Amino acid sequence: MAGKWSRVFLLAVCAVSLLGAEVKVSIPVGKLFTHELMRETFQIYIEPLSKLYGNFYDDPIVFKCNLQNFPDLPEWLRFTQRHPYDNGFLYGTPAAPGNNIIEIFAINKRSYVTAKQILTIAIVLDKNPLPYQAEFFIQLREIEKVLPSAVQEEIKQDLQRLWGSEALEVVNVTNALDRGGRVPLPIAGHFEGVYFKVGSKQYFSECLQKVLTPEHQRQCTSRTRVKAPGGCNFCNIPSNCITWCKTELFNVSKPKPTPALIMGSGILESGGDFNPPEFSPERDFFLDYIITVIVPLILAIILCLLLSYIMYCRREGVEKRNKKTTEIQMYHHHTIHGTSDELRMMAGSRDVPPPPLSTLPMFNFRTGERVSPLEGTSPTIPLIMAHHEPYSDTLPRK
Ligand SMILES: *[C@@H]1O[C@H](CO)[C@@H](O)[C@H](O)[C@H]1NC(C)=O
């Protein structure tokens, strides 16, 4: 028992002691920021438990990140962790200077011990901006595989040779899924793809400029398999090779002229009271009147006339019908008519007309006695009984 409680106590102590770890970084605007959330660093805090429960170095750990006091990360920062047994990554390119305080929670999915880390990111203005930027699409990669700095370096080396310049910096890395890409089939050899953007102060090399040639663009639109333009294939590792047709060049030094936004104070100028105009200019509504009222009216009248002509003037009269009917048929018809008229007359002159069957009572409302409708013709039984009975009679009197 005592052992169990000490474990609980230890658990509580370490859960509290996890708080307070803090990391500070300073990064420039417009350059890629990556921060790997190492499982091992967080496992240091969870370590005491492993002494109690055996080897826990391989616990699944998930990370949850958010901007302090907010539910989510800032817009520029993304988080990815493929699997609880993989490291997580925070990455993104800040667009404006400022301070971001990120809360990182690591949750051990086996013991449910959590650890918290505070990451303070100070974003400062970039002193040497990179005017020439190029974005490459790497088809055979996934975002987590590209973010470790060693891989970034590999890819950069290829691009440095392509650019013919050492001074190259990674500007932005994006998962292709975030740019409308499709989730690949779960088959080996299918990848999500990554957009990799680098920038430099040096102008694009000849190889890169070939992307802009009409010949290259024509090749890309016709569905033939496009290889690197002559002599420009610099990729050493096949998985780092770029898709030439998705290469884009940007010149950031000449910002696109955007119409300047003029900010007012947000308050309308005071100009006294509103004076409604006394005279309004004459407007001619005659044509509108014709189109919206007269024309539909005329159409309605024409339709009405047409309908009445069809209904009345072209109607077959009784005389015409009779003329068409054969003599023998007419005779037959008249005989039936005559006979039924006579029968009706004879019925009307009977002395005591029996009441219609439908008005006969089926059973006596008060006594519950059933009466056959055929016997019920006796005049002693009133035809309608219930309607004259006061309601209170049916209930016991109080
Ligand atoms: C980085 O790329 C993403 C996705 O393409 C884009 O939304 C973001 O604005 C880019 N960041 C910068 C600073 O260009």
Asked whether residue 276 carries a pLDDT value surpassing 90, the answer given is no
- In terms of domains, do 112 and 136 share one? no
User: What pLDDT does residue 376 have?
Assistant: 45
Q: How far is CA 6 from CA 10, 12, 50, 115, 288, in A?
A: 6, 10, 15, 20, 91
Ligand 1 atom closest to Cα of residue 94: 13
User: What pLDDT does residue 198 have?
Assistant: 94
Helices (H) and strands (E) in the chain, counts: 10, 11
- CATH value at residue 48: 2.60.40.10
Closest among 217, 126, 207, 93 to 159, alpha carbons compared: 207
- In terms of domains, do 213 and 191 share one? yes
Average pLDDT of span 259-285: 80
Ligand 1 centroid to 172 CA: how many Å? 6
User: With bands split at pLDDT 50, 70 and 90, how would you rate the model's confidence at 225?
Assistant: low
Q: For residue range 20-29, list pLDDT tens digits in order.
A: 568 899 999 9
- In terms of domains, do 32 and 84 share one? yes
Asked whether residue 51 carries a pLDDT value surpassing 90, the answer given is no
Q: What region, left, alpha or beta, does residue 189 occupy, with left being phi > 0 and alpha being psi -120 to 50 degrees? A: left
- In terms of domains, do 101 and 150 share one? no
- In terms of domains, do 177 and 117 share one? no
User: What pLDDT does residue 357 have?
Assistant: 62
User: What pLDDT does residue 289 have?
Assistant: 94
Ligand 1 centroid to 339 CA: how many Å? 99
User: With bands split at pLDDT 50, 70 and 90, how would you rate the model's confidence at 335?
Assistant: very high
The span from the CA of 142 to the CA of 174, in Å, is: 10
Tell me, yes or no, whether 227 lies in a domain. yes
Query: Structural domain of residue 92, as residue ranges?
Result: 11-124
Q: Which of 45-49, 83-87, 292-296 has the lowest mean pLDDT?
A: 45-49
Ligand 1 centroid to 93 CA: how many Å? 7
Ligand 1 atom closest to Cα of residue 93: 13
Asked whether residue 30 carries a pLDDT value surpassing 70, the answer given is yes
Tell me, yes or no, whether 242 lies in a domain. yes
Ligand 1 centroid to 129 CA: how many Å? 16
Tell me, yes or no, whether 37 lies in a domain. yes
Q: How far is CA 123 from CA 7, 128, 348, in A?
A: 43, 14, 110
Average pLDDT of span 296-322: 88
Ligand 1 centroid to 187 CA: how many Å? 29
Q: Which of 106-115, 218-227, 321-330, 364-373 has the lowest mean pLDDT?
A: 364-373
Q: Give the percent of the chain with pLDDT over 70.
A: 76
Ligand 1 centroid to 15 CA: how many Å? 37
Tell me, yes or no, whether 32 lies in a domain. yes
User: What pLDDT does residue 188 have?
Assistant: 86
User: What pLDDT does residue 3 have?
Assistant: 46
Q: Give the length of the chain.
A: 398
Tell me, yes or no, whether 292 lies in a domain. no
User: What pLDDT does residue 385 have?
Assistant: 47
How many structural domains is the chain composed of? 3
Ligand 1 centroid to 124 CA: how many Å? 18
The beta-carbon contacts of 112-117 under 8 Å, at least 24 apart in sequence, are: 113/11, 113/14, 113/15, 113/18, 113/45, 113/46, 113/49, 114/15, 114/18, 115/18, 115/21, 115/42, 115/45, 115/46, 116/18, 116/19, 116/21, 117/21, 117/22, 117/23, 117/42
Ligand 1 centroid to 16 CA: how many Å? 38
Q: Which of 54-63, 85-94, 335-344 has the lowest mean pLDDT?
A: 54-63
Average pLDDT of span 242-260: 81
- Residue owning the nearest CA to atom 7 of ligand 1: 76
- In terms of domains, do 229 and 169 share one? yes
Give the end-to-end CA distance of the chain in Å, rounded to a whole number: 74
Ligand 1 atom closest to Cα of residue 172: 1
The span from the CA of 372 to the CA of 60, in Å, is: 87
Q: Which of 280-289, 301-310, 383-392 has the lowest mean pLDDT?
A: 383-392
- In terms of domains, do 112 and 24 share one? yes
Ligand 1 atom closest to Cα of residue 195: 5
- In terms of domains, do 72 and 22 share one? yes
For a ligand 1 pocket test, name from 172, 178, 197 the mutation site with the most ligand atoms within 8 angstroms of its C-beta: 172
Q: DSSP 3-state assignment of 191?
A: coil
- In terms of domains, do 85 and 151 share one? no
- Residue owning the nearest CA to atom 4 of ligand 1: 174
Ligand 1 centroid to 263 CA: how many Å? 26
Ligand 1 atom closest to Cα of residue 30: 13
User: What pLDDT does residue 165 have?
Assistant: 87
Average pLDDT of span 30-34: 94
Last residue of a domain, one of 124, 145, 165: 124
For residues 188 and 179, the answer to whether their CB atoms sit within 8 Å is no
Tell me, yes or no, whether 377 lies in a domain. yes
Q: For residue range 348-397, list pLDDT tens digits in order.
A: 777 666 666 666 666 565 666 665 555 544 455 455 544 444 444 444 44
Tell me, yes or no, whether 25 lies in a domain. yes
User: What pLDDT does residue 236 have?
Assistant: 82
- In terms of domains, do 150 and 212 share one? yes
- Residue owning the nearest CA to atom 12 of ligand 1: 93
- Residue owning the nearest CA to atom 1 of ligand 1: 172
Ligand 1 atom closest to Cα of residue 29: 13
Last residue of a domain, one of 210, 226, 251: 251
For a ligand 1 pocket test, name from 78, 93, 170, 198 the mutation site with the most ligand atoms within 8 angstroms of its C-beta: 93
- Residue owning the nearest CA to atom 5 of ligand 1: 174
Q: For residue range 135-173, list pLDDT tens digits in order.
A: 999 999 999 999 999 999 999 999 998 998 888 999 999
Tell me, yes or no, whether 276 lies in a domain. no
Ligand 1 atom closest to Cα of residue 178: 4
- In terms of domains, do 165 and 114 share one? no
Last residue of a domain, one of 222, 251, 280: 251
Ligand 1 centroid to 53 CA: how many Å? 45
Q: DSSP 3-state assignment of 49?
A: helix
Q: What is the pTM of this model?
A: 0.59
Within its chain, how far is the Cα of 35 from the centroid? 31
Asked whether residue 86 carries a pLDDT value surpassing 80, the answer given is yes
Asked whether residue 102 carries a pLDDT value surpassing 50, the answer given is yes
Q: DSSP 3-state assignment of 186?
A: coil
Ligand 1-lining residues (CB < 6 angstroms): 30, 93, 95, 172, 174, 178-179
User: What pLDDT does residue 358 have?
Assistant: 62
Contacts of 104 (CB under 8 A, 6+ apart): 37, 63, 64, 65, 90, 116, 117, 118, 119
Residue 39 one-letter amino acid:
R
Ligand 1 centroid to 197 CA: how many Å? 9
Ligand 1 centroid to 45 CA: how many Å? 35
- Residue owning the nearest CA to atom 11 of ligand 1: 93
